[in-house]
Chains A and B, each alone.
Chain A
Amino acid sequence: MDWIIGIIVLIVKLGLVLVGLLLLAAYLVWVERKFLARLQIRYGPNRAGKFGLLQPIADALKLMVKEDTVPEAADRILFLLAPAVVATSALLMFAVVPFGSHLTLWGKKIPLVITDLNVGLLYVFALSSLGVYGVALGGWASNSKYSLLGGIRGAAQMISYELALGLSLVPIVMHAGSFSIVDIVNAQAKYPFILLQPFAFVIFIVSAMAESKRIPFDLPEAENELGAGYHTEYSGMRFGLFFLGEYVHMQVLGAFVAVFFLGGWRGPLLPAPVWLFIKIILVALIMIWIRGTLPRLRYDQLMAVGWKVLIPAALLNIMVTGAILLI
C-alpha cells in the first residue's frame, strides 16, 4: 500500500512541478519582456490582456499552430530530436531542487523535493552537459552554415563554462560536506553561503548565465551574425522547445543560485516554496537587468573570461576555502 501512495505522491509532485515550471517559464518570458522594456524606457507587451498578461499564452498558441518545417537537407531524426533534448534536460534538472523541507499530510511526511539524490549536484552537472548535445545536434542537423556555427559556438562555450560552474561549487560542497542538494540547503540553516562565498557566487552566476546562453553570452544565437544560430532553421513548436529550454534553464539556474547561495527555500514568515519562488525571480530579474545593460561579448573575450579569469579564480577560491577549512 505504501508504495502505491508513494507513486501517487510522486506523480502529484511531478505534475505540480512540471506545470509550475512551464507556467513560470512562460511568465518569465513575459517578465523578461516587460522588465527589459522598462529598462529601455518602453512599455513591452501591453495588448494581449491587461498589461499584456495573456501574451505568453498567445505566443504559445502561435508557436503551436505554426508550420513545423524541416529543411530538405537536414538530418531529419537528429533535427527533430535536438529541441527535445534541450527542453527535457533542462526540465529534468529540477528533479533535485528542494522547494521546502517537508509536508505532513495524514500523518505522512512528504519531502518537498522530487528526489533527494545523494549525488544531486553531480546529477545537475550531468544534465546540464547533456543540454550541450541539444544545441550542438540542432546546429549540426540543420545543415545550415548559421546553425552549424551556432552549434559549434554553443558547444565550445558550454563546455568551457561548465568547468567554472562546477569548480565554483566545490567550496560549497566542502562547506556542506555533501553532494546532496537537500543537505546543502540544510547546511545553510544559519546563514546563506553567499556570505561565506561571495566569489563563488559571482563566478557561479556568471557561468550560469553563460550556460543558459543569455546576453551577454548569447553568442550561439547571436542574431545579427548568425540569424538565430543553432535554431535558425527551426520553426513552430520545435523552436518553442528551444525557447522553453532556455527559460526553464534560467529558472533552474535561479533555483540553484537560491539553493547554493541564498539558503534555498529558507526564509522567515512565508512558506518555503514561496521563498524559493521569490529567490528564483530575484535571480531572474538580475539576469534580465544584466541583459538590459551589457552588450554581447566578442567570441575571444568570451573564451578569455572563461578560461583566463573564471577558472583560475574558481581554483584559487577552492584552495583558499580548503586552507581556511583545514585551519
Chain B
Amino acid sequence: MSKLIIDDREIEVSPGTKVIEAAAQLGIMIPRFCYHPALGSVGACRVCAVKFIQGPFKGVQMSCMIDAQDGMVVSTTDEDVADFRRHVIEWLMLHHPHDCPVCDEGGHCLLQDMTVSGGHGIRRYLGKKRTYTDQFLGPLLQHEMNRCIHCYRCSRFYQEYSGYRDLGAMQSANRTYFGRFTDGILESPFSGNLSDICPTGVYTDKPSRYFGRRWDYQRSPSLCINCSLGCHTVASIKYREVKRQEARFSEPVNGYFICDRGRYGFFYSSLESRPRMARINGKQCTFNQAQHAMIEKLEEIKKNSGSAAIAAVGSLRSSLETLVMLAQLCQTKRWRDPACFIDSSQVQNVKTAISRLEPQLRVSLRDIERADFILAVGADPINEAPMLALAMRQAQRNGATIVVIDPRPVSLPFPFLYLPAAPMALSAYLGSLIKAVVNRGTADKMGDGARKFYDRIPEGKKLAEAQPPLSSEMLQSLQQSRRPIIVCGTEILSETVLSLSADFALLLQAAEKQAGLFYLMPGANAFAGGILSGEKDSFLQIIEQIEDGSIRALISVEADPFWWFDDRPRLERALDKIDLLVVLDYLDSQAAQRANIFIPTATFYESGGMLINQEGRVQVAPRALLGGIPISQAGGGDHPPRLYDVGIAGFDPKAAWLTLADLANGAAQEDEKALQQHLWKQISDLIPQLATFSSIDEIPQEGIVCSCGVNIDSRFSINWSAASNIRHDSGDDFDLIEVDWTFGTEELSSLSPCLWKLERKPCLVMHSGRAEIIGLTDVDLVEISTETGSLEAELRTADNMAPGILVLPRHRKLAWQIFTPGKIRIRKDQIRKKQ
C-alpha cells in the first residue's frame, strides 16, 4: 500500500494505482480525456496535469501516467496546473468546430465540461480551422471528425480492447485521423461503445441522432434482455419512448461496455406496430373487456373439460415476477405446469446447468477476464453472448490461451485454438482432456465417485483417428494454467457434455487450480425458467397433449412459439384444434395475431423487475418509464395533440404478472402493493438467498448470486457408455444444428430497424469437403425439404467446422421452422441445389 497526500488529504492505495485513480477515490475528479479505467493511460491529452510537490517526482506531471507512491504530495488546484490545464484546453479547442448546438454530444460532452470548468471562454486563435472529411460508418454511428481531440480512446478501444482492426488512427501530427481506411459498416459488434467513450462528439449515436439532449432524457438503470448475460444498461427515455441505451458500469457483469445487440435491441418497445389495445378475436376492445372474457372463457373450459385442459407457456424474456406468478397461477388453478422451453432436452440442459453451478465453481463475466486458460465448449461467444467474447479478449490480451471446441465455424476477434468437433464427440474430447491434465490420484481426492468416474473415461484412441487431435500446445497451457475456466453453451450440446464440463472443472480444482465454470443459457431469464420448470415441462409436450385432445386452452405469456418452435405446420394444426388461445404480450407476434383473446403487457422497461442471468445472478431493473404511446406517434410526427387532461393514450398495458394476478384472483386487483408483497414472499421462498431482504428494492445493484437448484449429488454421475457412443460419421447425412447469430436471430433485437443492415444474409453452413462431395459450392442456392416443408437459402462452405454438421441460423428472414423437434438429421438427398 502506498500512502500519499492529494490536496491536503491523505489516502492509501494499492500499488500500481495511478494518481488520477487515487484522487478519484478521494472524490477529486481530475480532468481527463484519454484516460479511461478500462483502457488505461497513454498520456495523450495532457489535461490531467497535477503538481507534485514532494516525493519521487517534482513539478507538473500527468496524473494518469504516474503510479501513486509513498510520500507523494500532490496538488490538483495549484495555480501552475490550473493554468497549464487552461492552456491545454485552449490548444484542444483551436480547431474545434463551432458545432455544439448541432452536436448530439452537447450536454454530456467532456470537452464542453472541461472547457467551461477550465475557464477557457473566448477564442484567441485567429487562424483557420483544420477540417476532416467524415466517413459513413454504418447505421449505428455518425462520424464528425472535426470534433476530435486526438485522445486515442476510440482506436484503443476498437483495436486493443476489443480486437477489431477496421477502425483506427491514420496519419500523423496535426493530421491524425480516426476512422476506417474507406467508408463502410464497422465490423465490430461493440462499435456502439465508441459513442460512450469518445469524450467529444466524433462518434454519436445514429439511431437517436438529433433527438434530444442528455438533460431531457429520463435516464433509468435497466438490464439487457437480449441474451443470458444480463448486462447493465442505462435506458434513455424521452417523450414516452426509449430512444437510446448506454452501457452502465457493473463490476461483476459487463464492466464499462455492452454489445450492439443490447445497446440497440430496445426498439421493440416503442414500435408503432406495438399493440396497445386488447383484442378479442382480432377486434379491439378495452382492457377490462378482454380480461373479463379471458376469465369467463377459462371458467367455461374448466367446467367442460376440467382444469387440466388448460396449459400455459412462459417465456425466457419475461421477468422473474411474471414467471413466478405464472407458476403459482397454474398451481392454484390446477392447470398444467407452465412450459418455458421448447423440448425436454432444452429444459434438461438448463436444469443440468443450474444444478451444476456450485458456488465454488461458478464465475462471473469479470472473472473470465482474469482467467489464464479458457476452454469454450459448444459456445459461440460473439453470436450467442457477445460480451463474453469481449471478456475473453481481455483474458487473451493478458496472455490466456483460448480454446474453442465446437462444431460450428467460430470466429473471434483474437487468436485462439479451434477444434471442430461434432456435438456427439465433445464428451470424448473432454474425456481425453481430463485424462491428459488430471491424474488418478487427484481424482481420488474428490472421493470414490470421482475415482470411478475417472476410471471409466474411455480411451480416446478412436477419437484420435477420426478427429483433429488435441494439440500439445493446448494441453500444455492447460496444465500450466492457474485459473482455467470452462465456458459451456447449453443450446447445441447434450446434457452429458454440460455435466462433464462441470466435473472437469471440479477435477481441475482438485488439481489445485482456481478453476471456474461458466454456462450460457438460451434466454435472458432461462435460469429462472429452469428453476420453475419440471424435467418434462416443455412446449413439445403441450403440443402432444393438444394433439391427443387433453389440452383445450392455451395461455401464452410473452411467448411466441411461432418464433422458436421447429415445426410450424404442426403448431398451426395444434392451435387450430384448441378452443381458446390467450396471448399476453408486448410484441405483435404471430401468436398474438392468432389469439382469441389478446391482452397487451408492459415491456421490461415499463414494468421493471428481476432477471436471473446465466450465472444465477438475480438482478433488478427499476421501472424506467410508465408507458403510453410515444409523443412522436401520438402527434404523427408533428407537434403533440393540443389537448389537455385526457390521460395517457395507450397506457392500458400493465406488467404481465399483474394481469396474471388478476386472473388468479378472478377480478382486477386494486392493491398493487399487497400483490407485490405477496409475490416477493413467493420469490424469496423460491430463492433462499433473497430471504434476508425485505423487498426488491434492497437487492444490491450488482445483484445476488443464488444457488438454488444446485445438486451436489449429480457430480460425476454421467453415463459414459452412452456418452462415448460416437456415431460414425458416414458422410451420408448431416446433423442439423440451429444456431444464434449476433444480429437477426434474437426475437427482440430483430425488431430494431437499425440492426437490420448489420445482419448477415441468412445462409446454411456446411463443411467445404462435404459440399464438394455432394456437388455443392459456396454461394449456391440450396433447398432443404423435409416432410413438413422446404427451406431455401444460400449455402456457405467453411473449412473450419465439423464435417457432419449443417448449421442453420434461426434467422428472422428464413422460414426455418420445418423440422421435427428433437435431434434433426438431414440426409444428403434432402439437400438440393436450386437453379
Direct contact of A and B (CB under 8 A): no
